[in-house]
Structure 1
């Protein structure tokens, strides 16, 4: 099972804070460093020093790390024109030597759009669908050919479809393309998008009892479009809070403003053995990758504990 570190910088983090976590992620043997793509603090807190742009951050980390994979969970389709997004992600993929992945979703946080003057249409699923068509279409267009798209939301005419990512598409090795992560809780439309475009289907903070059913639905969607369900990687994102004992666990829970019983019920939380048992349970249900949501970015000892005492139990 892959274990990835997933951060929420909108709650308050500088680039240097994120770099420290990314370097710890790399040094401790985790598979990847991911970040959310948000522009406004959620809940209590002032969010200082203020938001950092996800793809600007990942461009910096592409040069400041050497092994770990990098990506968003997830970028909002409302934030960037798909043509611009395709250029940004392809460039960061080049800068990293082919270590980037794109998580893309419809967007949901209306307040951040209002705060920064970003349009927030009521109906966004069609927007997301076209963005996936355009981004993957631009990357997959052979060099020297042109890409056109005429849709409800976007029109691209005679595009040279450059630059290309370093990586080839997981769905078609003859074409360029960064792995795309599609996630969401919708029972029908999201699985269909994952089956069409995704290298990975992600469930973000699901009720644990719902995980097997959602995996089954997205596998059915793959069959419907003629895709081998085994080619779509299954992942979940869950909050992380682990302690060597109950006292350390309680201290870490208090630091992120959460209650221990709630964390144990909904996350990768508890003692070292409890966290390992939860991960093995998810693996038995068909989950192949877990994004560990780290909310206290200054507690690097937390990452070390998980790497050395939880991760080792899964190998």
Structure 2
């Protein structure tokens, strides 16, 4: 079972804060450090000192870490044009020596689009654009050097692009797709995903969605086992009930609710909870949403007392 650290820096974090967590993630032995791609805080957080751009951040971390995988859950397709995004991600992959994983979603948070002058199209158009972006970005990466790539879609057109730079990983960085849409999301995952992620779902809903992705893959002749299954869950792990309660309170979550919908409890309880998830859904990877980025002790506790029991 892979354990990855997943952060939400729009809630209030500088690059230095993220660097500190990323280095602690690497030192503790985790598989990867991921971050969200948002420009506006959510809920009651003040969001200070303000947002950091996901791919600028990951470019910096690519040069200041050496082992951990780096990526987004998930980059918003509404934030960037597909051609320049393909260049940015390929460049960060090269800067990291081939450690990037590329999560891409359709975009959804209307308030951040309004706050920064971004267009959030209606849902159908948003998914149509998303599908074209997946086609273009992966097409650019996989075009052989010396050849060109062209695409004519409803929203994007490319003419004889050299598809450069190429990522360090060949033919492309792993692509992560997620979400709970019952039709188009599984179909896109079947075509493009190396990994399918469900954030903050319950196990029964996750199992049903993984089954839809499997069916969509089989329908186009792809082996469903090629698509890794993962979930993202919020953590509040402590050595005692008091420490667990303190960590839940620090992130503004009700402990009873977090026990039901996240990973809250002592290390033994969390190991048992992950085991239940694995048995019910077949997941092999968990993104641990660490909301209190100052709490490196919790990160180290999970690495020391949870991870070794999951092999």
TM range (shorter): over 0.9
The unaligned stretches of length 5 or more in structure 2 are: none
Aligned residues: 308
Residue 257 of structure 1 pairs with residue 259 of structure 2: no
* Structure 2 residue matching 1:152: 3-state secondary structure: coil
What is the rounded CA distance, in whole Å, between the counterparts of 1:226 and 1:193 in structure 2? 14
Return the offset for 1:45. Answer: 2.0
Residue 120 of structure 1 pairs with residue 120 of structure 2: yes
Structure 2 counterparts to residues 77-226 of structure 1, below 5 A: 77-122=77-122, 123-168=125-170, 176-226=171-221
Return the offset for 1:299. Answer: 0.3
With normalisation by structure 1, the TM-score equals 0.97
When structure 1 is superposed on structure 2, of 210-219 and 248-257 the one drifting more is: 210-219
What is the rounded CA distance, in whole Å, between the counterparts of 1:185 and 1:149 in structure 2? 28
What is the rounded CA distance, in whole Å, between the counterparts of 2:276 and 2:2 in structure 1? 14
Residue 289 of structure 1 pairs with residue 285 of structure 2: yes
Deviations 1:229-248 (A, max 9, x none): 11100001111111111100
With normalisation by structure 2, the TM-score equals 0.98
Q: Is the 8 A contact 1:241 1:268 kept in 2?
A: yes
Deviations 1:128-179 (A, max 9, x none): 00000000000011111111111011011111110000102xxxxxxx2111
* Structure 1 residue matching 2:306: 3-state secondary structure: helix
What is the rounded CA distance, in whole Å, between the counterparts of 2:151 and 2:39 in structure 1? 29
What is the rounded CA distance, in whole Å, between the counterparts of 1:219 and 1:208 in structure 2? 16
Runs of 4+ off more than 6 Å: none
What is the rounded CA distance, in whole Å, between the counterparts of 2:104 and 2:75 in structure 1? 5
Return the offset for 1:208. Answer: 2.2
What is the rounded CA distance, in whole Å, between the counterparts of 2:309 and 2:160 in structure 1? 53
Q: Is the 8 A contact 1:13 1:51 kept in 2?
A: yes
What is the rounded CA distance, in whole Å, between the counterparts of 2:182 and 2:231 in structure 1? 16
When structure 1 is superposed on structure 2, of 202-211 and 93-102 the one drifting more is: 202-211
